[in-house]
Chain A
């Protein structure tokens, strides 16, 4: 079965500090992984994806994610957090058997304090 886990419901970080939002996955075959961000009362916005290639993927708004195959992880990172980064973040994985299905994690609320 395919699944995604986001072990932290909430992450708190001070503005200017680096941030990490964690994601682990379980999927058959090669993983296709995604990060999305959701601001209050809005739909999700695509941040970045990993399909193949470099383990460090760069995305929108200065975010990047590190793919680690041995640890089955795909953590979202940013070197210097902004207050405006405060939002709900979702990790998603494409089904390894049915390429048209996606599974989302439960979300991590990021709070960046001034």
Chain B
């Protein structure tokens, strides 16, 4: 099993550009989530999904969109990048919200 994979590993964007961070898992997990990690703030939940076709907002959803068309994939879209979105982004999955989550390796995003 590859576990949770994320692409790209690094990305630099200019303010106003859009992009999609990819996330995939091969464990048939229903629950998937996106977090951002900023120094001194831990991880903050952006969006989550409890299954294909079902998504909802987390703690810091503004400026981000998600969709879940398959169990395996959960992409995160930045609509119009802003410097405040400079962060490390982690995707995670678990069989259900009761279990510990498996995290991907992260995407380091810089917005200039």
Contact B90 A43 (CB under 8 A): yes
**How does the 8 Å CB contact mask read for A1-36 relative to B, with 1 for contact and 0 for none?**
000101000000000000000000000000010101
B26 at the interface (CB under 8 A from A): no
Chain A interface, >50% SS class: strand
Contact A44 B103 (CB under 8 A): yes
B43 at the interface (CB under 8 A from A): yes
Query: Interface range on chain A: under 10, 10 to 19, 20 to 34, or 35 or more?
Result: 20 to 34
Task: Report the count of interface residues on B (CB-CB < 8 A).
Answer: 27
A51 at the interface (CB under 8 A from B): yes
When A and B form their complex, what is the total count of cross-chain residue pairs whose Cβ atoms lie within 8 Å?
60
Within 8 A of A (CB), among B22-71: 31, 33, 35, 40-45, 48, 50, 56, 58-59
Contact B31 A46 (CB under 8 A): no
Contact A94 B102 (CB under 8 A): no
Contact A99 B97 (CB under 8 A): yes
Chain B interface, >50% SS class: strand
A sample of 26 inter-chain contacts (CB < 8 A) reads A4-B42, A36-B100, A36-B103, A42-B106, A43-B103, A44-B90, A44-B92, A44-B101, A44-B103, A45-B103, A49-B100, A51-B98, A99-B98, A100-B97, A101-B45, A101-B48, A101-B59, A102-B45, A102-B97, A103-B59, A104-B35, A104-B44, A105-B42, A106-B40, A106-B41, A106-B42
19 extra interface residue pairs, beta carbon distance < 8 Å, beyond A44-B43, A102-B101, A104-B35: A4-B42, A36-B100, A36-B103, A43-B4, A43-B103, A44-B103, A46-B101, A46-B102, A48-B100, A49-B100, A90-B42, A92-B43, A100-B31, A100-B48, A102-B33, A102-B45, A103-B45, A104-B43, A107-B42
